[in-house]
Amino acid sequence: MNIISKIIFTIFIILLLSFVIIEALIIKEANIKSKESSYPDDIDYMVVLGARLYGRAPSPALYERLEKAYEYAKDKKDLKIVVTGGQGENEDIPEAKAMKIFLVEKGIDKERIILEDKSTSTYENLKFARDILKKIDPKDTYSILIVTSDFHLLRAKLLAKRLGFKAYGLPAETPESIKTYIYLREYFAVIKSLIFD
């Protein structure tokens, strides 16, 4: 085996190992048991990450996140909820605004909901949420419960920790029909976030 073949083989092995390790971590985070007893009592805020809208209506992924957020928050009257997401292409309003409407219609008091409506990525969701919290509730660190799709939880928690949050995760289900594709795609998203975010 010549030197070029050895280099190519080594790169292939490194990529394969990174894929196996990262996918295993994605799956582990996605399968966190979302029982109330699994989370500490001192969570400062719930942060619900945005996803696509169809006009003003939540996409299936966003609907699942909102349902999961509602189920957890409905009996925790003191828990404030940060909804995140700006207005994307073919969206009539910012994602955060649609999320607030959804939660208020389900019975969540609008005074509990904090809007972050400028972000366009997971990193911005969390960074802009942190910036808002620093203005309304200044302190060194915040304990947050991130609500997002199961496949997305590993990356969201990594970014949150980089931004100084103490982060827990509440996974919302991904439809079976797109699960394989979305989990494969998330590998590349994690690599991108590790390098650029």
Residues of the chain with pLDDT under 70: 1, 33-38
Position 34 scores a pLDDT of: 56
Q: Roughly what angle, to the nearest 10 degrees, separates helices 3-30 and 176-196? A: 120
Position 139 scores a pLDDT of: 93
Q: What is the CATH number of the domain that holds 173?
A: 3.40.50.620
Position 175 scores a pLDDT of: 78
Position 4 scores a pLDDT of: 86
Position 5 scores a pLDDT of: 86
Q: For the chain, how many structural domains are there in total?
A: 1
- Tokens at residue 74, please? 């409905």
Position 35 scores a pLDDT of: 52
pLDDT in tens, 134-158: 999 999 999 999 999 999 999 999 9
Q: How far apart are CA 114 and CA 80, in angstroms?
A: 7
Position 197 scores a pLDDT of: 75
**Residue 188: burial class (beta carbons within 10 Å; 0-12, 13-18, 19+):** exposed
Which domain covers residue 172, as residue numbers? 3-196
